[in-house]
Amino acid sequence: MSWLAVLIVAFSAQLAVLPGEKVQFIIAGLATRYHPLLVVSVAGAAFAGWTALEVTFGALVQ
């Protein structure tokens, strides 16, 4: 599989399963109950962790 094919498949899969609006609504809702800086920090850390996991899995699959 070429690099471009992997990019297209990964982009399409990510777009299909992780719509940003849903996550933004969850973060906004949590920020009204908890300290906004804490909520955004944890969300950023979760995103970074998930991205690292995706990269690791992609490397294993390749």
User: CA-to-CA distance for 24 and 22, rounded, in angstroms?
Assistant: 5
For 33, the token pair is: 């109950």
pLDDT tens digits for range 11-51? 887 777 766 677 888 888 999 999 999 999 998 899 899 99
Please provide residue 19's backbone torsions phi and psi, each rounded to the nearest 5 degrees: -65, 130
Query: What's the pLDDT at 9?
Result: 85
Query: What's the pLDDT at 35?
Result: 93
Domains of the chain, residue spans: 19-61
Query: What's the pLDDT at 18?
Result: 67
**Residue 54, CA atoms < 13 Å, CB-side half-sphere:** 14
Query: What's the pLDDT at 45?
Result: 92
